[in-house]
Amino acid sequence: MSGPLGRDPGGEPDRPPLIVLCDVTKTYGAGAGEVHALRGVSLVVERGEYLAVMGASGSGKSTMMNILGALDLPTSGRYLLDGIDIRALDESQLADVRNRMIGFVFQGFNLIRRTSAVANVELPLVYAGVRRAERRRRAEAALAAVGLSDRLHHQPSELSGGQQQRVAIARALAPDPAIILADEPTGNLDSVATAEVMELFARLNDQGRTVITITHEPDVAASARRVVRLRDGSVVSDRRQSPVRSVPSPAGEGVDEAAGAVPG
Ligand code: ADP
Ligand code: MG
């Protein structure tokens, strides 16, 4: 079966692609000060993909991340997130879709100071109305998943940059979102911590999580399964470097045929 843009490499027959961008533009400002940050981007991302979006500074990467994350709306074009037309939602529906679907990871970690790792990770669960004991259990599990079970009660200032980013990834994971969406997640990290974060993303993807990371570092893009390049607001290349990981369907069956052996 073919998706709306004619490709459906990792899709399941009766579920829409996770992400469909259709001729999306974003223009900031007006008149002489207009900036065309995105100039007609079309993209389909299936469940289980691990996508890196690359491009020079100013090419539109963060603009695209903000749209993918439903933090901002396109100027024109369509964005379907799990089949839902984002434009049709009001603010509270948008917030709800965002909380349910997307775990954000930023370059600057955005952790709350003087607050323990486990309390930071619990925060999105507080917003989601999860009760205290369940919150703590899920936050501890998320920190275990990023290898930080021994740092639950450390504050951000007591952690290395790489550990802080792993706490931020645990926070993104705790609500169990469909997509991890990261903007330059290794931009503030040294090479060792960068490798740790890349390994973690690869592992999350192996477990079936869809990962989209924005980066201008070739090393980081190399660990992704697919690389999309932006130049001046347009997609100039879209290359698959390893197959989409197969994602079990809700019924627990249906391994997708496009996915071959997972390397490593
Ligand atoms: P990247 O993340 O690839 O560096 P951005 O998406 O941040 O690129 O920016 C793309 C273009 O849009 C740049 O020219 C930038 O200056 C411009 N831009 C980004 N955000 C805004 C904004 N809020 N208002 C005006 N121009 C913006
Ligand atoms: Mg940016």
* Residue where the block lists tokens 């469940």: 47
Phi and psi torsions of 45, nearest 5°:
-120, 125
Helix segments in 57-190, DSSP class H: 61-68, 91-101, 117-127, 132-145, 161-173
In a domain, 28, yes or no: no
pLDDT at 256: 40
pLDDT at 128: 86
The Cα–Cα gap between 9 and 17 comes to 10
pLDDT digits (tens, 9 = 90+) for 182-216: 999 999 999 999 999 999 999 999 999 999 999 98
Residue 81: partners with Cβ closer than 8 Å, 6 or more residues away? 18, 19, 68, 70, 97, 101
Helix then strand count (H, E) for the chain reads 7, 10
pLDDT at 257: 37
* Residue where the block lists tokens 């869809």: 210
In a domain, 102, yes or no: yes
Q: How far is the CA of 66 from the centre of ligand 1 (A)?
A: 11
Ligand 1 atom 5: residue of nearest CA: 60
pLDDT at 14: 76
CA 228, 229, 234, 237 torsion: positive or negative? Answer: negative
Q: How many domains does the chain have?
A: 1
The Cα–Cα gap between 59 and 37 comes to 7
In a domain, 8, yes or no: no
Tell me, using a 6 A CB cutoff, whether residue 55 lines ligand 1: yes
At 264, is the pLDDT very low, low, confident or very high (cuts 50, 70, 90)? very low
- Strand bridging mode 84-85 / 76-81: antiparallel
Q: How far is the CA of 125 from the centre of ligand 1 (A)?
A: 31
pLDDT digits (tens, 9 = 90+) for 54-109: 999 999 999 999 999 999 999 999 999 999 999 999 999 999 999 899 999 999 99
Tell me, using a 6 A CB cutoff, whether residue 34 lines ligand 1: no
In a domain, 183, yes or no: yes
At 141, is the pLDDT very low, low, confident or very high (cuts 50, 70, 90)? very high
- Strand bridging mode 179-183 / 102-106: parallel
Q: Supply the CATH number for residue 59's domain.
A: 3.40.50.300
Tell me, using a 6 A CB cutoff, whether residue 28 lines ligand 1: yes
- Judged against a pLDDT cut of 90, whether residue 6 lies above it is answered with no
Write out the residue range of the structural domain in which residue 219 sits.
47-71+96-240
Residue 1, exposed/middle/buried by CB under 10 A (0-12, 13-18, 19+)?
exposed
In a domain, 156, yes or no: yes
Q: How far is the CA of 59 from the centre of ligand 1 (A)?
A: 8
Q: What is the mean pLDDT of residues 221-246?
A: 92
pLDDT at 3: 40
The Cα–Cα gap between 98 and 112 comes to 20
* Strand, coil or helix: 38: strand
In a domain, 29, yes or no: no
Neighbours of 214 (CB within 10 A): 26
Q: Which atom of ligand 1 is nearest to the CA of 38?
A: 10
In a domain, 105, yes or no: yes
Paired tokens of 226: 């697919």
In a domain, 250, yes or no: no
pLDDT digits (tens, 9 = 90+) for 18-61: 999 999 999 999 999 999 999 999 999 999 999 999 999 999 99
